[in-house]
């Protein structure tokens, strides 16, 4: 108990006095007995450390310097509007790890754990509970948050046992979120920073993105909540109705363009160069700072035990790197001693990373992405290709692909065990099933499948599957409703027939 109290008093001192504080912090600290002398030492040392905490900082550096692990003179303040390095390459947000290392792994674990489930602004958010690792310099008052994150890490017991013989399979439901996808994690960070920049007098008229549906939903919601104009470029007829209606309802300026996602991406990059509209796609490395917290959250939910595998569906390929970065930071800062192997799963109809991987990383060629049920990853020329390759190589990872039939069958199987998955989760589940079949993923391996969006955004594909109306697809796990007369006898007949078949 003593240890808990010490920690409580210390962590409260890290919190700003302003903001909501509707209930006290729930604390999950495992140590229960500590001697008084030790406690005293702990208090003193933690207070000393806390004084140094103000030195936390982050800046943009060229991603190439991260890749090659070479120091660079080129860096930019996060308050600058910059998306590319001087050579046109990607940027990365680099934290002052030496400042963060003033606190040990135990300290960070206890701090993050202490914030779970609180309503203390903004630390109850799964993203902002890790604020020091995300955007350390921002004032709490500038943060735009819907208390995103803290999503369910679901033990997929029945799916694992029934279809794979696995007992340690988990699904991280990132789609059970404010706008129904993991994009909320990154968007809270990006829109908060825009809010700050506008308050600082930067002439930003709004924020814009190209989207396959989820980025635009998140952008428009967070912007609406902060009263910032948002602009979204959508490929016409290529996103679900549920996704389309989100930015419309949230008051975004929506352009439906007669092109695909890659065409929209090209246009928004040009437009944001010429107009004072801030770019919200994951080319902007700020987004990934929020998304990386899902990786930290998984560790936290496993009581800091590292899973063997994490499988992530990939499109524009920012998220796979965000997961890598989250795990890697935990390793570098002493919270864990190894990182999981990462698998990026792509639709076979939009598989540029998979083809590159299969070529032995010899020949990257963008592809023309074909129609796929996993419409949010129908992307042929991913902006974060270099980030994804880095994440895969440095986690001893893999890339897998899934055909349309595999995607829909995997989704149906998962749903039949009580989930309600999106097709992108179907892509990741297919990758898992293939890697299990090949014996790459072991039966006892602790495995996490990242579910990136809510299944309710993709009901049309489920309707088509369960009504067996998909051309050239057997839809073998379809469960269509039975039309029956509203009469006792007729109802009894069909029920009896069903029960006999089942027994
Ligand atoms: C639901 C969903 N899953 C997966 C992805 C892939 O994420 P990323 O583009 O970061 O690879 C996206 C967006 O691209 C998405 O919207
Ligand atoms: N699936 C995304 C595609 C854009 O990805 P981003 O992460 O670069 O914004 C979407 O929903 O728009």
Q: What is the pLDDT of residue 206?
A: 98
Domain of residue 347: give its range.
Answer: 153-176+290-455
Q: What is the pLDDT of residue 503?
A: 73
431/420 same-domain check: yes
Mutational test site, ligand 1, from 316, 343, 375, 385, max ligand atoms within 8 Å of CB? 316
Q: Is 316 in the pocket of ligand 2 (CB under 6 A)?
A: yes
89/223 same-domain check: yes
329/209 same-domain check: no
For residue 494, being part of any structural domain is answered with no
Positive/negative CA dihedral, 358, 359, 364, 367: negative
Alpha helices in 227-341 (DSSP H): 241-249, 261-274, 286-291, 293-301, 318-332
48/188 same-domain check: yes
351/221 same-domain check: no
> Which residue has the least CA distance to atom 9 on ligand 2?
281
Q: Which atom of ligand 2 is nearest to the CA of 383?
A: 8
Q: Which atom of ligand 2 is nearest to the CA of 379?
A: 3
Q: For every residue of 390-422, which 3-state class applies, written as one string?
A: HHHHHCCCEEEEECHHHHHHHHHHHHHCCCCCC
For residue 464, being part of any structural domain is answered with no
Task: Work out whether strand 58-62 and strand 91-95 pair parallel, antiparallel, or are unpaired.
Answer: antiparallel
pTM greater than 0.95: no
196/268 same-domain check: yes
193/255 same-domain check: yes
> Which residue has the least CA distance to atom 1 on ligand 2?
376
108/256 same-domain check: yes
Q: Which atom of ligand 1 is nearest to the CA of 344?
A: 11
Q: CA nearest 336: which of 346, 326, 344?
A: 326
ipTM of predicted complex: 0.99
Alpha helices in 80-147 (DSSP H): 97-100, 105-115, 131-134
Q: CA nearest 389: which of 419, 363, 409, 369?
A: 363
Residue 129 near residue 123, CB atoms below 8 Å: yes
208/342 same-domain check: no
What does the alpha-carbon distance between residue 213 and residue 246 come to, in Å, rounded to a whole number?
9
158/192 same-domain check: no
Series of mean pLDDT values for 10-residue runs along the chain (503 residues):
30 30 28 38 51 80 96 97 97 97 96 94 98 97 98 98 98 98 98 98 97 98 98 96 97 98 98 98 98 98 98 98 98 98 99 98 96 98 98 98 98 98 98 98 98 97 98 97 98 96 79
Q: How many domains does the chain have?
A: 2
342/416 same-domain check: yes
Q: Is 116 in the pocket of ligand 2 (CB under 6 A)?
A: no
Domain end residue (candidates: 234, 258, 287): 287
243/272 same-domain check: yes
């Amino acid at each position: 108990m003593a240890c808990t109290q010490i920690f409580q008093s210390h962590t409260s001192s890290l919190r700003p006095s302003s903001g909501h504080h509707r209930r006290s912090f729930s604390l999950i600290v495992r140590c229960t007995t500590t001697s008084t002398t030790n406690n005293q030492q702990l208090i003193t040392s933690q207070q000393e450390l806390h004084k140094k905490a103000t030195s936390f900082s982050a800046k943009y550096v060229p991603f190439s310097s991260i890749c090659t692990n070479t120091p660079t003179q080129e860096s930019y303040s996060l308050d600058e509007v910059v998306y590319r390095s001087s050579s046109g390459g990607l940027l990365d947000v680099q934290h002052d790890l030496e400042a963060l290392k003033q606190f040990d792994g135990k300290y960070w674990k206890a701090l993050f754990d202490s914030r779970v489930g609180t309503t203390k602004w903004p630390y109850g958010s799964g993203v902002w509970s890790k604020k020091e690792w995300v955007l350390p310099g921002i004032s709490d008052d500038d943060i735009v948050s819907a208390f995103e994150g803290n999503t369910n890490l679901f033990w997929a017991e029945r799916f694992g046992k029934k279809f794979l013989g696995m007992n340690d399979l988990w699904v991280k439901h990132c789609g059970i979120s404010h706008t129904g996808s993991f994009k909320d994690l990154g968007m809270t960070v990006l829109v908060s920073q825009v809010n700050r920049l506008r308050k600082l007098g930067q002439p930003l008229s709004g924020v814009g993105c190209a989207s396959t549906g989820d980025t635009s939903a998140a952008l428009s919601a967070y912007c609406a909540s902060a009263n910032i104009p948002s602009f979204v470029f959508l490929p016409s007829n290529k996103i679900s109705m549920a996704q389309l209606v989100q930015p419309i309802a949230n008051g975004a300026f929506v352009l439906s363009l007669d092109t695909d996602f890659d065409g929209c991406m090209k246009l928004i990059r040009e437009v944001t160069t010429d107009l004072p509209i801030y770019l919200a796609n994951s080319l902007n490395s700020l987004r990934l700072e929020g998304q990386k917290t899902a990786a930290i959250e998984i560790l936290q939910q496993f009581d800091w035990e590292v899973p063997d595998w994490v499988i992530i569906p990939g499109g524009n390929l920012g998220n796979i790197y965000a997961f890598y970065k989250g795990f890697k930071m935990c390793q570098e800062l002493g919270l864990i001693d190894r990182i999981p192997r990462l698998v990026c799963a792509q639709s076979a109809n939009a598989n540029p990373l998979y083809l590159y991987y299969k070529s032995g990383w010899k020949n990257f060629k963008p592809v023309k992405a074909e129609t796929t049920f996993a419409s949010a990853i129908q992307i042929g020329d991913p902006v974060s290709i270099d980030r994804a390759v880095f994440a895969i190589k440095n986690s001893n990872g893999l890339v897998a692909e899934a055909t349309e039939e595999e995607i829909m069958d995997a989704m149906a199987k998962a749903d039949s065990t009580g989930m309600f998955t999106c097709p992108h989760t179907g892509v990741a589940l297919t990758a898992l099933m293939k890697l299990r079949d090949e014996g790459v993923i072991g039966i006892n391996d602790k495995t996490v499948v990242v579910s990136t969006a809510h299944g309710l955004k993709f009901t049309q594909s489920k309707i088509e599957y369960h009504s067996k109306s998909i051309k050239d697809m057997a839809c073998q796990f379809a469960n269509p409703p039975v039309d029956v007369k509203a009469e006792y006898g007729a109802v009894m007949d069909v029920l009896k027939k069903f029960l006999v078949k089942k027994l």
